[in-house]
A = this chain, B = another copy of it.
């Protein structure tokens, strides 16, 4: 079970997360991801999506549920999430949300955090804040050290920016955690895929 989670790529997780909203064929996943601008998080190409779906099927995380044909369009294979697949998404997000290495993975985890219960998401983000603070201390120390050895500024630009970005994320996280902690934050049940998205899907299917 745990080893399966290790083999998930960001795109794989997004695919599984989409199937939590309902059965779907790969091409529709691509449309939805593009419509929601999720292609800013992972690169969404035909090659990667179809291959990813095939791989997830081999892993037993999703399964074929039918081949329908609309008009005389090419036939399309529809897939559904298995229990293992549903569990794997949650496990993956749980693992990636607090990690400060692997920023790509984190952005995907954050955008799928709604698949967790609110309390758990908050706890994981709080852990992240601490790790981020430690990371920022390291970066600042490294910069300080380099300056005592009078390394020319031009060589430190990237490190400076890194420290600034880390500080900014820290500030954002503190702010977000404060908002998430207020009891009037709605969040809702993690399994219910929100009426809105279902409507969006219908609109896209039109």
Contacts and interface: CB of A to CB of B under 8 A. Distances in A.
A134 interface: no
Contacts of A153: 179, 185-187
Nearest to A113: B157
Interface string A145-174: 000010111110110111011011101100
B158 A196 contact: no
Nearest to A173: B161
A66 to B, nearest CB: 29
What's the number of copies of this chain in the assembled complex?
2
B185 A114 contact: no
Give the contact-size bracket for chain A: 35 or more
A202 to B, nearest CB: 15
Interface of A: 37, 40-41, 107, 110-111, 113-114, 118, 142, 149, 151-155, 157-158, 160-162, 164-165, 167-169, 171-172, 176, 179, 185-188, 194, 196
Given A152-B187, A152-B196, A154-B188, 8 more contacts: A107-B158, A110-B157, A110-B158, A111-B158, A118-B154, A152-B194, A160-B172, A168-B169
